[in-house]
Amino acid sequence: MARTLFARLALALTLLLLGIGLLYTVLSATLTRHYQQEFLQNLNRDLAANLVTGRKLVTGGVLDQKALKETFNHYMMVNPGIEIYLLDQHGTILSFSAEPGKVKRERVDLGPVRQFLDGREFPLFGDDPRSFERRKVFSATRIPGEDQSVYYLYVVLRGEEYERIEQLYQHNFLLQLSGAALLVSLSIGLIVGLVLFRLLTRRLHSLSRRMQDFEASNFSQHTPWQQQHRHLDEIDLLGQHYNHMAERIQEQLEALKKQDVLRRTLIANVSHDLRTPLAAMHGYIETLKIKEQDLDPATRSEYLDIALQHSRRITRLVDELFELAKLDARETQPKREPFALAELTQDVIQKFRLTATEQDVALAMESGDSLPFVDADIAMIERVLENLISNALQHTPAGGHITVSLRQEGSAITVQVQDDGAGIDARDLPGVFDRFYRAGNSEGDTHHAGLGLAIARHIVRLHGGDIEVHSQIKLGTQFIFSLPVWEKP
């Protein structure tokens, strides 16, 4: 059973050529027979008339029955392929030369005879007196009789003897012709067709092998399909789709590997960042439980404050994890509205004013006059500013400065958060927005989980932008992003 495409194409081609060969043989035999009949009738157009004239079958306007009988016998002997009949004016057969029982019809339709005498286009077919079904080419002529009556001499040109001999030779000839035509057609057609099919399926087979090798390599080794013709055909298009698919699969596999590494890192970092405050909180609570009677009120209050501080750290970490998960899943979408970015920035700075003062860090804002409203989610942008300023405070030493600058650039407001802290090494910059990122030279809260910058970047991207970071060691760091200006409808 044919399973490959090449085998199926070869089988289809063989059946097609066989059908064409058979059709050619049938058409050839039919057209040849039609041609022979037309040729024979044209050749013997005047045969019946010549029989009457040459044999003097009519004498003085009267039909000579004796001469007619001699004519029948003579011409049937000279040319066994013809059959001669005498018809009256109604087509009734009056005389013939044949063995008893051969003639089955009693009369012949005179319509074709009259068409013949009128000179209609050949071939014309009349009734065969020796059959109720067959119709054959003929020659005919009028014979005037007594009392102005008319007779017809009706000559069948392809008699039974003619057809018997013809069928014998024609059978052998058609078999030879059909066999030769089929053999030549199948041989040439199959050879040419199979070569063409092999050339076409060879490229498809090559593409299939590439796909199999790609699968066998566990989708790690991809040999790209190269276009082999100037104009693209279906196989080249299929090859291009395969290239895109393979590249996409490799990208997705690489992304899955990175996600797996990130997942492992996330679990490790979360475990560490939860274990540390939990252990400390557990220790202080356990101390309070064990030494409840020995601790003075001031110490007891101190221990409770420390436990509460660790509890808040845990709460903050869990909240950030949930927030980042929602942003990753795009469950939270920006609810855009026009608002004054300068006022929001000033409010956020005021939240961190006390912390900055305690760390001896100068926190200021620079803004142009009459900045237009921005079109964004006010709560989300507040979160971005909080995370960026908080990150700057963690990495700015005492005596340092943090400046939040706002300026209009075309149809956007650019926000820049700059500090003069320790800076970030160039090798660490690509991972600064990764979850739980901590720079190698971090001097701030080394126990704080690095989720703030990742959350900030997700929010800015949801607004159609991104955050840029520029940093130099011992000179500080800049975080820059833009928001679109609100346009009145």
Instruction: Residue 261: give its domain's CATH number.
Output: 1.10.287.130
pLDDT averaged over every residue in the chain: 80
Q: For residue 210, tell me if it sits in a domain.
A: no
Query: What pLDDT score does 74 carry?
Result: 74
Shared domain for 19 and 156, answered yes or no, is yes
CB 347 within 8 A of CB 384: no
Q: Count structural domains, the chain.
A: 3
Shared domain for 427 and 397, answered yes or no, is yes
CA-CA distance, 329 to 157, in Å (whole number)?
94
E strand or H helix that includes residue 96:
strand 93-96
For residue 464, which phi and psi values (nearest 5 degrees)?
Answer: 85, 10
| Domain final position from 166, 185, 200 | 166
| Domain final position from 289, 304, 328 | 328
> In which domain, by residue range, is 54 found?
6-166
Cα–Cα nearest to 360, from 393, 386, 404: 393
Q: For residue 185, tell me if it sits in a domain.
A: no
Shared domain for 352 and 281, answered yes or no, is no
Shared domain for 291 and 406, answered yes or no, is no
pTM above 0.85, yes or no: no
| Domain final position from 166, 190, 217 | 166
Q: For residue 320, tell me if it sits in a domain.
A: yes
Q: For residue 464, tell me if it sits in a domain.
A: yes
Query: What pLDDT score does 446 carry?
Result: 43
Query: What pLDDT score does 82 carry?
Result: 81
Shared domain for 159 and 15, answered yes or no, is yes
Q: For residue 269, tell me if it sits in a domain.
A: yes
User: Residues near 447 by Cβ (< 8 Å), separated by ≥ 6?
Assistant: 273, 276, 277, 313
Shared domain for 159 and 17, answered yes or no, is yes
Query: What pLDDT score does 161 carry?
Result: 62
pLDDT in tens, 409-466: 989 999 999 999 888 888 878 778 876 655 555 544 444 446 788 888 989 998 999 9
Query: What pLDDT score does 381 carry?
Result: 93
Shared domain for 49 and 156, answered yes or no, is yes
Query: What pLDDT score does 377 carry?
Result: 92
User: Residues near 323 by Cβ (< 8 Å), separated by ≥ 6?
Assistant: 332, 455
Query: What pLDDT score does 339 carry?
Result: 94
Shared domain for 242 and 307, answered yes or no, is yes
Q: Dihedral of CA 443/444/447/449: which sign?
A: negative
CB 86 within 8 A of CB 68: yes
Shared domain for 155 and 273, answered yes or no, is no
pLDDT in tens, 121-140: 888 899 988 888 888 888 89
Average pLDDT for runs of 10 along the chain of length 489:
68 79 76 79 80 65 69 72 84 79 86 89 88 88 73 80 61 63 75 79 82 83 75 80 88 85 71 74 84 82 85 79 71 87 93 91 88 92 92 90 93 93 83 66 48 86 91 90 90
Shared domain for 424 and 361, answered yes or no, is yes
At residue 260, what is the residue type? D
Query: What pLDDT score does 369 carry?
Result: 77
Taking only Cα atoms into account, the Rg of the chain, rounded to an integer number of angstroms, comes to 54
* The pairing of beta strand 362-367 with beta strand 401-409: parallel
Enter the tokens of residue 115. Answer: 């068409």
Query: What pLDDT score does 170 carry?
Result: 59
CATH number of the domain enclosing 464: 3.30.565.10
From first CA to last CA, the distance across the chain in angstroms is 71
CA-CA distance, 279 to 357, in Å (whole number)?
30
Shared domain for 121 and 240, answered yes or no, is no
Shared domain for 439 and 322, answered yes or no, is no
Q: For residue 441, tell me if it sits in a domain.
A: yes
Query: What pLDDT score does 449 carry?
Result: 44
pLDDT in tens, 259-285: 787 777 667 766 766 777 788 888 888
